[in-house]
Amino acid sequence: MGDVGFPMVNEDFSLAEDVHDTQAEVEATQQAIAEANNDSQVAAVEDAEPRRPRGWLESDIKRLLDKVISGDVAGPTDAESGDALPLTPHRVAKLLAETEGLSKAPSVGAVSSVFDRWVKLDVVTMNEKPYSFGGFTNGAEAPGTDAIEAAKVAQAEARKAQKAAEKAAAAASAQA
């Protein structure tokens, strides 16, 4: 294919002597760079934890809290007094990482978001200070996430019914 020229420029932007690499040298350099990049990407993938499926955090938190309530998993306790500590989002994330064998605990913000969603669905009560898990409401006490899923469906259906009623009211007022 011939020589590929790469002109060199001095600091004063004057042309320096032309540096000519053969096409084979250019391709060898490109191949070396690609292999180095591929090796680092493969190493990163091999070290990475497998991706968890969508919604895993909510179901894992529910399962963990069920185990803590039933006594299958010991909740956090004060080192000096041995008293149970409140299940704050930070402690839940840390406990989840320990019980599930995760290399990295889920973020405290993600755990807080799960609790906030559950409060809106009226499946948990939360203590104010410190912001911590207070317990499940009557409908959500059963093990599993069925009650939470049922609350989500009921809330979505209520939103749809409200939108339909608003649309009907707007249409009726437009005709009047």
Span of 74-88, 92-106, 124-138 with lowest mean pLDDT: 74-88
Distance CA 71, CA 66 (A): 8
Per-residue pLDDT band for 85 (boundaries 50, 70, 90) equals: confident
What are 35-79's pLDDT values in tens digits?
Answer: 776 655 555 545 556 666 677 888 888 888 888 888 888 888 778
Distance CA 174, CA 95 (A): 56
Per-residue pLDDT band for 89 (boundaries 50, 70, 90) equals: very high
Q: Which CATH number fits domain 56-160: 2.30.30, 1.20.120, 1.10.10, 1.10.3470?
A: 1.10.10
Q: Give pLDDT, residue 90.
A: 93
Which residue type, as a one-letter code, is found at position 94? K
- Please determine, for residue 1, whether its predicted confidence score (pLDDT) is greater than 50: no
Report how far apart the first and last C-alpha atoms of the chain are (Å, whole number): 80
Question: Hey, where are the domains in the chain?
Answer: 3-47, 56-160
- Inter-residue contact 126 to 115 (CB < 8 Å): yes
Concatenate the DSSP letters of all residues of 94-154 into one string: HHHHHHHT-SSPPPHHHHHHHHHHHHHTTSEEEETTTTEEEEE-GGG-SSSSHHHHHHHHH
pTM of this prediction? 0.59
Mean per-residue pLDDT of the chain: 77
Q: Give pLDDT, residue 12.
A: 65
Q: Which residues have C-beta within 8 Å of that of residue 64, sequence separation ≥ 6? A: 73, 92, 95, 96, 99
DSSP classification of residue 19: E
